[in-house]
């Protein structure tokens, strides 16, 4: 298939596909699905081999958010039955991190619900990062605290954070349909602040919210424009008690096409299989490892994932290996890039979608 040969060539050169090529991946027939996975798998193996990076989520603060993101079980007015609590103590978070690291996680993701942190919240998270790094010097720490105010990214960096996550979630044109309390530009700005402070940016999407193929291509091209180091791909979990309850729009085949499209557009980024993989990919999860090079181990923010043991068995059975602590996840040119961003500091060029 000419399309797939072209996309593999471009992926190996880190060349951006055209929008039409990305759309064509989403439009492939089920009969072509294994060819699509095999082609995107070549790009994945070129940049990341057969390694799978494990990440572990720690929900520092859960529920009671004033924002109204319609996909989220922690949103204002959510009737979803989730645990609600305020700020884990640093030693509690460090204990949770130990469970993740023992299970093979290289990165812990510290997540807090809410629009964004106060300066006091940044202090709390800084103490938590110190507690985790004190026990596990090698573990990468990513903070995910919402929209950042001036100076907060730099403070997190100084506290020892390696990365910051803030997802774009969906295209700029449909953002208003999933949230009215902040917009796409707010999210872009926070990712840029993290990059300018020298943090490794993590930003991704949620598929399955009723978006079109064009929306998916738009958000993934928006991400490529910002060039985050990691791109989590979430598949909607339609929580009861949220406006998107009952929105079961995905099939395992569509999830695989979406992951392949993300891999072709962001070939050398850590593509992470994130929330919803169990319920949306179901028995096709092992095929997704040919596209994504990173997964979350165990549970998600407000829902249970499959047991860590089952994840490790799936990785081994599919012929992949868990990435060790002594291996650098990203290709060399990306780690060099981080250093140069740090040197450039503020004033880094804006991405085309900003």
Which residues make up each annotated binding site for [2Fe-2S] cluster?
109, 142, 202, 272
Residues 318-337 that bind ligand SF4 (CB under 6 A): none
**And the tokens for 81?**
């039955």
Among 74, 285, 293, 294, binds ligand SF4 (CB under 6 A): 74
For position 72 contacting ligand SF4 by CB under 6 A, the verdict is yes
Min separation Cβ 96 and ligand SF4, Å: 19
Among 65, 199, 266, 269, binds ligand SF4 (CB under 6 A): 65
Residues near 169 by Cβ (< 8 Å), separated by ≥ 6?
69, 71, 175, 178, 187, 204, 205, 206, 219
Q: Which DSSP category does 18 fall into?
A: P
* The residue to which tokens 């979406």 are assigned: 258
Extract the annotated binding site: 65, 69, 72, 109, 142, 202, 272
* The residue to which tokens 């082609």 are assigned: 39
For position 113 contacting ligand SF4 by CB under 6 A, the verdict is yes
For position 243 contacting ligand SF4 by CB under 6 A, the verdict is no
Min separation Cβ 22 and ligand SF4, Å: 26
What stretches of 137-273 show up as alpha helix (H) in DSSP? 152-158, 175-178, 184-196, 213-226, 252-265
Using the contact rule CB under 6 A, the part of the chain among 66-74, 229-237, 254-262, 315-323 near ligand SF4 is 66-74
For position 274 contacting ligand SF4 by CB under 6 A, the verdict is no
Residues near 332 by Cβ (< 8 Å), separated by ≥ 6?
none
Min separation Cβ 117 and ligand SF4, Å: 12
Min separation Cβ 30 and ligand SF4, Å: 33
Residues 140-179 that bind ligand SF4 (CB under 6 A): 146
Q: How far apart are CA 301 and CA 110, in angstroms?
A: 10
Burial 106-135 (b: 16+ CB within 10 A, else e): bbbbbbbbbebbeeebbebbbebbebbbee
Q: Within 10 Å of residue 325's Cβ, how many Cβ atoms?
A: 13
For position 67 contacting ligand SF4 by CB under 6 A, the verdict is yes
The H or E element containing residue 317 is: helix 308-317
For position 308 contacting ligand SF4 by CB under 6 A, the verdict is no
- Contact (Cβ atoms closer than 8 angstroms) between residue 170 and residue 234: no
Extract the annotated binding site for [4Fe-4S] cluster: 65, 69, 72
Using the contact rule CB under 6 A, the part of the chain among 61-69, 85-93, 94-102, 342-350 near ligand SF4 is 61-69
Q: Which DSSP category does 169 fall into?
A: B
Min separation Cβ 295 and ligand SF4, Å: 20
Interface ranges with ligand SF4 (CB under 6 A)? 65, 67, 69, 72, 74-75, 113, 115, 146
């Amino acid at each position: 298939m000419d399309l797939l040969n072209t996309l593999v060539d471009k992926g190996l050169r880190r060349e951006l596909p055209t929008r039409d090529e990305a759309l064509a991946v989403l439009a492939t027939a089920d009969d072509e699905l294994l060819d699509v996975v095999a082609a995107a798998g070549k790009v994945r193996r070129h940049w990341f081999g057969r390694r799978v990076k494990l990440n572990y989520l720690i929900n520092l603060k859960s529920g009671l958010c004033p924002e109204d993101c319609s996909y989220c079980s922690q949103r204002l007015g959510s009737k979803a039955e989730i645990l609600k609590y305020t700020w884990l103590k640093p030693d509690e978070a460090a204990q949770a991190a130990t469970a993740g690291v023992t299970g093979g996680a290289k990165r812990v993701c510290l997540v807090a619900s809410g629009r964004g942190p106060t300066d006091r919240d940044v202090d709390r998270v800084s103490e938590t990062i110190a507690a985790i790094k004190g026990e596990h010097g090698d573990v990468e720490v990513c903070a995910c605290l919402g929209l950042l105010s001036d100076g907060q990214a730099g403070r997190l960096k100084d506290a020892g954070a390696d990365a910051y996550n803030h997802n774009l979630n969906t295209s700029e044109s449909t953002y208003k349909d999933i949230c009215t309390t902040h917009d796409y530009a707010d999210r872009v700005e926070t990712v840029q602040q993290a990059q300018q402070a020298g943090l490794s940016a993590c930003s991704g999407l949620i598929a399955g919210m009723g978006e079109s193929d064009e929306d998916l291509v738009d958000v993934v091209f928006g991400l490529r424009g910002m060039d985050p180091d990691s791109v989590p791909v979430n598949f909607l979990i339609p929580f009861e008690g949220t406006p998107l309850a009952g929105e079961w729009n995905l099939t395992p085949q569509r999830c695989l096409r979406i992951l392949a499209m993300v891999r072709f557009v962001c070939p050398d980024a850590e593509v992470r299989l994130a929330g919803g993989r169990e319920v949306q990919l179901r028995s096709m999860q092992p095929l997704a490892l040919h596209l994504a090079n990173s997964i979350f181990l165990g549970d998600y923010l407000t829902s249970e994932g499959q047991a860590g043991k089952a994840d490790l068995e799936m990785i081994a059975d599919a012929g992949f290996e868990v990435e060790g602590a002594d291996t650098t996840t990203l290709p060399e040119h990306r780690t060099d890039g981080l250093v140069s961003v740090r040197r450039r500091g503020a004033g880094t060029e804006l991405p085309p979608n900003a």
